[in-house]
Amino acid sequence: MEKWVPLVMLLFLYLTLLMEAEVTYDGRSLVIDGHRKILFSGSIHYPRSTPQMWPNLIEKAKEGGVDVIQTYVFWNLHEPQPGQYDFSGRYDLVSFIKEIQAQGLYVCLRIGPYIESEWTYGGFPFWLHDVTGIVYRTDNEPFKYYMQNFTTKIVNMMKSEGLYAAQGGPIILSQIENEYQNIQKSFGEEGSRYVEWAAEMAVGLHTGVPWVMCKQTDAPDPLINTCNGMKCGETFTGPNSPNKPSLWTENWTSFYQVYGGVPYIRSAEDIAFHVTLFIARKNGSYVNYYMYHGGTNFGRSSSAYVITSYYDQAPLDEYGLLRQPKWGHLKELHAAIKSCSTTLLQGIQTNFSLGKMQEGYVFEDGDEECVAFLVNNDSVNKVTVQFQSRSYELLPKSISILPDCQNVTFNTANVNTKSNKRVINPVQSFSSTDKWEQFQDVIPKFEDTLLISNQLLEHMNLTKDKSDYLWYTLRFEHNSPCTESTLHVQSAAHVAHAFVDDTYIGGAHGSHDVKSFTLEVPITLNEGTNNISILSVMVGLPDSGAFLERRFAGLTSVEIQCSEESYDLTNSTWGYQVGLLGEQLQIYEEQNNSPVEWSQIGNTINQRLTWYKSVFDSPEGDDPVALNLGSMGKGETWVNGQSIGRYWILFHDSNGQPSQALYHVPRSFLKDTGNVLVVFEEGGGDPLHISINTVSTTYLDDTISK
């Protein structure tokens, strides 16, 4: 036996050597195993879908001509408390990467660990806020300690699973920090020192693959500065060294959507134009679509005012279905570029004018190989240009690709893929009152509150992101007669609902762009004690900007105007309660013994602070499932104890429509029968008109596709 061991080991060593890929770069591209590569990459974030969806999403990306899957790493999910880690279920980063590897694609791992990404607190775990002396993202010892600790944890995990290309794994590229240049000025010298430190720290982890810093023009060697944006073919100032390639880490396929906003539709033609321009004009050799699949911000994971559906307009929609013609048009573009990538990567680039608004780019490799791009930047007129004594008609705002400098194989404005549209099939309704039970949440009494302070405390510092909700409650003694009294509340974010005794008197909210707001409502005061309670609500934590640790949310001043008198209650004695009773009791969990008495619902709709519960069977088939919550107001929904996200129907967009009415319920959250649906309604809604739907797409000539 013993004799065999060295032989087996040798064989094993030989096999691993065969598979190990060295990743370096030069002025043209990443160099994998000695070969330059043009790579198309697509962002898919593992916690925004489910492990059951991953294989299909990756397969569709691969079929669409994507070579690399790019993902952020979500620190707040993985380290909910310092030193306590969670990599289970949707958070299973290693399984996600192994699935990508199994399908033969590469990975770009953007560790951050600051990620922004419209993710609550930009991906930071909230406990960082309470670390003594911390200032995020600058030359600050406590911050650097935790950043290095988490980055090291992830890198070591990848290494121990053999996931770096240098070990035979799929990871070819990694990212430290994220668009730091946006805030660097706020930190002066300390900011520059931090960039140096972050680069050195990352390189010191010896992953064997290059690191990038995106939107960081001065990324220190050997890190590569990369471009984020919609038009990197026009905006990118280029690599900061001739030895570094032009890489585009975020080419936005759409834009994230906020409550009150409308979807940002970016056409397939426009994306194709700018991707091609980046390759032709900037020698671009890596383009990542942000997002290729956006998915869902489950639970309370979205950042301030960002809706639950994420980049639904991406080539794969929220449900993972092809969005056509985007997916198909980009697939054709990828094939056209790949057909001539050797020439693009080895050839010499020249450019020339073809007219006032027309230009050409040619890549020539010796006398044999030649690739041309003919650009028409006129967005109105098509034009005919002469190139190498042949005529070419160029469509408005388009680029023609000529892999042999003769024949056009692709024009960015000429879409051959058929368009499709989404079909929503209602399969179940909840229209009868006996399908529902309800539980009325309770407005806390001042004397029951556990925390008292004689000032208005900051919202996030109390909730620690364990809940969206914070009650501010006080007793107001009042003995003089008073006509036309009003309550004035100022809040720094995001929503406030005011109650006197148990009666609702009014509410107000801010928006993504203007977070502060004023609530001004008439109030009828009793002689004697008045119990005033204000529910402050956040819709996700902020995710960007300098000094995130110092942000202020919640109430900033409260005043009662009574006849000529004005009572400033800002520094009165306030009692606080974090979260709702139903949240504390976790009544959305699947339980045999409910901790509360659920009651039959009456005919009353539009009740505030009400929990609703029902049961439903899984729709037949495999089509994705969605709840239509269009009849509700604002709140959060759970299916079998798992939160499918916040909803906010009452916040209409400029067309008078809710920004999102349909909410994805992943198939893997469902059982065949007896699924428990729990809805917490904050603003008043009608549960009888909620419906269960399946989602599919149809091509505009009516053939159903998946």
Active site residues: 179, 250
Distance from C-alpha of 409 to C-alpha of 373, rounded to nearest angstrom: 11
Maximum distance among all Cα pairs of the chain, rounded to whole angstroms: 101
Choice from 47, 229, 444, 542 touching ligand NAG (CB under 6 A): 229
Choice from 160, 571, 594, 698 touching ligand NAG (CB under 6 A): 571
Residue 470: which region, alpha, beta or left (left: phi > 0; alpha: psi -120 to 50)?
A: beta
Nearest to 405 by CA among 358, 347, 355, 356: 347
Choice from 22, 234, 527, 565 touching ligand NAG (CB under 6 A): 234
What's the min distance (Å) between Cβ of 598 and ligand NAG?
A: 25
Nearer residue to ligand NAG within complex by CB, 402 or 626: 402
What's the min distance (Å) between Cβ of 616 and ligand NAG?
A: 39
| Residue whose Cβ sits closest to ligand NAG | 229
What's the min distance (Å) between Cβ of 257 and ligand NAG?
A: 14
Strand partners of residue 699:
420
Cβ neighbors of 141 (< 8 A, separation 6 or more) are: 133
Choice from 48, 98, 159, 282 touching ligand NAG (CB under 6 A): 282
Q: Which tokens belong to 671?
A: 């059982």
What's the min distance (Å) between Cβ of 659 and ligand NAG?
A: 19
Nearer residue to ligand NAG within complex by CB, 320 or 554: 554
What's the min distance (Å) between Cβ of 276 and ligand NAG?
A: 10
Choice from 501, 527, 565, 622 touching ligand NAG (CB under 6 A): 501
Residue 617: helix, strand or coil by DSSP?
Answer: coil
User: Is residue 5 near ligand NAG by the rule CB under 6 A?
Assistant: no
What's the min distance (Å) between Cβ of 152 and ligand NAG?
A: 4
User: Is residue 231 near ligand NAG by the rule CB under 6 A?
Assistant: yes
Nearer residue to ligand NAG within complex by CB, 282 or 634: 282
Stretch touching ligand NAG by CB under 6 A, among 411-419, 524-532, 632-640, 689-697: 524-532
What's the min distance (Å) between Cβ of 113 and ligand NAG?
A: 13
Strand partners of residue 225:
213
What's the min distance (Å) between Cβ of 484 and ligand NAG?
A: 20
**Rounded to the nearest 10 degrees, how much is the dihedral formed by the CA atoms of 646, 652, 658, 664?**
-20
Strand partners of residue 372:
362, 402
Residue 602: helix, strand or coil by DSSP?
Answer: coil
Stretch touching ligand NAG by CB under 6 A, among 106-114, 146-154, 335-343, 417-425: 146-154
- For the chain, give percent helix, strand, coil, nearest 5: 25, 35, 45
- Order the strands of the 410-411 sheet from edge to edge: 348-355, 358-365, 369-376, 398-402, 410-411
Instruction: State the number of binding residues for ligand NAG (CB under 6 A).
Output: 35
User: Is residue 359 near ligand NAG by the rule CB under 6 A?
Assistant: yes
Stretch touching ligand NAG by CB under 6 A, among 70-78, 87-95, 292-300, 344-352: 344-352
Residue 641: helix, strand or coil by DSSP?
Answer: coil
User: Is residue 346 near ligand NAG by the rule CB under 6 A?
Assistant: no
Distance from C-alpha of 147 to C-alpha of 272, rounded to nearest angstrom: 37
Distance from C-alpha of 523 to C-alpha of 499, rounded to nearest angstrom: 9
Distance from C-alpha of 32 to C-alpha of 24, rounded to nearest angstrom: 7
DSSP 109-166: EEEES---TTBGGGG--GGGGGSTT--TTSS-HHHHHHHHHHHHHHHHHHHHTT-BGG
Choice from 12, 87, 352, 567 touching ligand NAG (CB under 6 A): 352
Rg (CA), the chain: 28
Choice from 16, 52, 88, 149 touching ligand NAG (CB under 6 A): 149
User: Is residue 435 near ligand NAG by the rule CB under 6 A?
Assistant: no
User: Is residue 384 near ligand NAG by the rule CB under 6 A?
Assistant: no
Choice from 55, 80, 82, 621 touching ligand NAG (CB under 6 A): 82
Distance from C-alpha of 334 to C-alpha of 313, rounded to nearest angstrom: 19
User: Is residue 486 near ligand NAG by the rule CB under 6 A?
Assistant: no
Question: Rule CB under 6 A: which residues touch ligand NAG?
Answer: 82-83, 149, 152-153, 229-231, 234-235, 238, 277, 282-283, 348-349, 351-353, 359, 375, 377, 406-407, 445, 455, 458, 461, 501, 526, 529, 531, 568, 570-571
